[in-house]
Amino acid sequence: MNWRSMTTPSCLISLLFILVASSSGASEIPRIVAIGDLHGDLDATRRALRLGGAIDHDDNWIGGQLIVVQTGDQLDRGDDEQEILDLFEELRIQARQAGGAFHALLGNHEIMNAKGDFRYVTEGGFKDFEDAVHQDSADSSLARYPQLERARRAAFLPGRPYALLLAERIVILQLGDNVFVHGGVLPQHVDYGIDRINAGTQAWMRGEAERPEILEGSDSPQWTRLYSDEPDSSACAVLGGVLKQLGAKRIIMGHSVQELGIDPACDSLAWRIDVGLAAHYGGDMQVLEIIGDEIRVLKE
């Protein structure tokens, strides 16, 4: 395992990407950039995407065959949520057309909003969705809620427009040796079935099924902190078993802010990439780059 931290000016990042994309092995070993929690901060979102070589200053995809994975929590604690969600949807389309991929995962705050749990929504976050979707004044399911909440509920409750957008996303993503998730993957999640978790969550978001029980509680894939806090030897042993079951080498997760920056744990089986880059936290700008077994922390 090779990894190192480096501060990379944007021009050098662009050059680095060009060199990687033009190398003969680029089609065999994809370049992956992983980004942690964004929490309604559009400026931080753009900076992270530019740092990773994904977009230009007009928010257009320039990553070519690059794969971007954002590990959830686009929502709450900031005012720019709608803009971030809309940007991500556009980038998903542009990346696919260019031969790359853009994956935004579901974090606990996306799940919370689909449940109508708005404890961490800012005043600007409520106002941002007032004109985002049509509200039927005769909709009794919304009339019983405070006026401030109605537009957001009309956007995010299962089957509603932004819930349908979130329904295009998944909870757990495996790309070769790399497993991406917001909180973590535990043995019971593997036993339950990764595809089953993803499909069940999507069906719930579409309003077609009840919320999967596997999403509930502190040991759910979007809530667990077993590996993202300070895992002891027993937690690392659990992770090793999970990765063996999945045929993977490492897990990449957000959810728990790493005040000292992106940080590996469990002998680099776990990569914790939530650095609190949103304005709510004021952390440093960092993203994780993965090319095969070569892992680097990119910094502004």
Structure tokens at 203: 């069906």
Element (H, E) at 7: strand 2-7
Q: Is 176 left (phi over 0), alpha (psi -120 to 50) or beta?
A: left
Choosing from 39, 103, 109, 182, the catalytic residue is: 109
Please report, for residues 169, 217, 240, the alpha-carbon distance to residue 207 in angstroms, rounded to integers and kept in the order given: 15, 21, 36
User: Contact 200/176 with Cβ under 8 angstroms?
Assistant: no
DSSP 220-271: STTT--TTTS---HHHHHHHHHHHHHHT-SEEEE-SS--TTSSEEETTTTEE
Count the helix, strand and coil residues of the chain and give each as a percent rounded to the nearest 5: 35, 15, 45
- Enter the DSSP assignment of 214: G
User: Contact 38/275 with Cβ under 8 angstroms?
Assistant: no
Among the residues of 102-230, which ranges form H helices?
108-114, 123-128, 140-143, 147-156, 161-166, 187-192, 194-205
Name residue, tokens 């709608």.
Answer: 82
User: Contact 8/299 with Cβ under 8 angstroms?
Assistant: yes
Name residue, tokens 């749990």.
Answer: 117
The answer to whether 57 is a known catalytic residue is no
Which residues are catalytically annotated? Answer: 109
